[in-house]
């Protein structure tokens, strides 16, 4: 009986450690620190899209270029939230992420071919609960960036961000 209790305790501890590592990696992934923004996004997209038929394309001209930590972490978290929103709410078949550096600005365009939504009514009436858009908007504001969203029911979702590199 004691052996079973110890085995169950060890299993629960192993599962807790695994969960903690996953949470830690989402908050500040070691791959972001070691390899940069694009590799971190690629490494995070794979598990988020596991078990789906969603195709993802990531295009970038920044390669392994590094930016200040605050910019990298917030852009990483924005993209993770966007992918999660697509998977959870939009049922897309395709996601495209373009991250480009242009004249001291990071330009990020995120596009999916999912269900989309009525942006005007959705934001005003809060009929899109849990979408995390407020969190994304806060991060963009923190980075002194600008955004534009294009979406409507059955037309997918596109957000374009312009974030100055300071």
Q: Quick one: which of 102, 117, 114, 104 has its CA closest to 149?
A: 117
pLDDT of 141? 95
Cβ atoms within 10 Å of 9's Cβ, excluding its own: 10
| pLDDT per residue of the chain (166 residues) written in tens, 0 to 9 | 889 999 999 998 888 887 776 666 566 667 788 889 999 999 888 888 888 999 999 999 998 889 998 899 999 999 999 998 899 889 999 999 999 999 999 999 999 999 998 877 655 544 455 557 888 999 999 999 999 999 999 999 999 999 999 8
163 burial level (CB within 10 Å; 0-12, 13-18, 19+): buried
Q: What is the pLDDT of residue 105?
A: 96
**Distances, alpha carbon 164 to alpha carbons 30, 62, 73, 107, in Å:** 24, 14, 15, 9
Q: Which residues is 112 bridged to in the sheet?
A: 95, 157
pLDDT score for 127: 47
C-alpha 83/C-alpha 89 separation (Å) is 10
- Residue 117 to residue 155: CA distance in whole angstroms: 8
Q: How far apart are CA 94 and CA 117, in angstroms?
A: 17
Give which of 130, 118, 124 is closest to 154, Cα–Cα: 118
Write the DSSP string, 23-61.
HHHHHS-HHHHHH-HHHHHHHHHHHHHTTS--EEEEEES
According to the model, what pLDDT value does residue 50 have? 85
pTM of the predicted model as reported, rounded to 2 decimal places: 0.79
Residue 87 neighbours by CB under 8 Å, 6+ apart:
48, 49, 52, 54
Distance CA 50, CA 122 (A): 28
Spatial separation of the C-alpha atoms in residues 96 and 55, rounded to whole Å? 8
């Amino acid at each position: 009986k004691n052996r079973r209790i110890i085995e169950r305790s060890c299993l629960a501890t192993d599962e807790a450690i695994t969960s903690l590592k996953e949470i830690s990696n989402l908050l500040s992934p070691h791959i972001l620190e070691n390899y940069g923004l694009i590799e971190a996004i690629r490494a995070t997209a794979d598990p988020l899209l596991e078990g789906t038929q969603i195709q993802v394309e990531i295009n970038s001209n920044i390669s392994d270029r590094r930016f200040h930590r605050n910019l990298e972490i917030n852009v990483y978290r924005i993209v993770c939230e966007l992918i999660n929103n697509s998977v959870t709410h939009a049922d897309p078949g395709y996601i495209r992420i373009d991250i480009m550096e242009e004249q001291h600005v990071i330009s990020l365009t995120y596009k999916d071919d999912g269900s989309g939504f009525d942006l005007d009514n959705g934001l005003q009436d809060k009929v899109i609960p849990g979408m995390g858009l407020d969190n994304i908007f806060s991060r963009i504001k923190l980075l002194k960036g600008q955004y534009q969203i294009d979406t409507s029911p059955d037309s997918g979702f596109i957000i374009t961000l312009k974030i100055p590199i300071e």
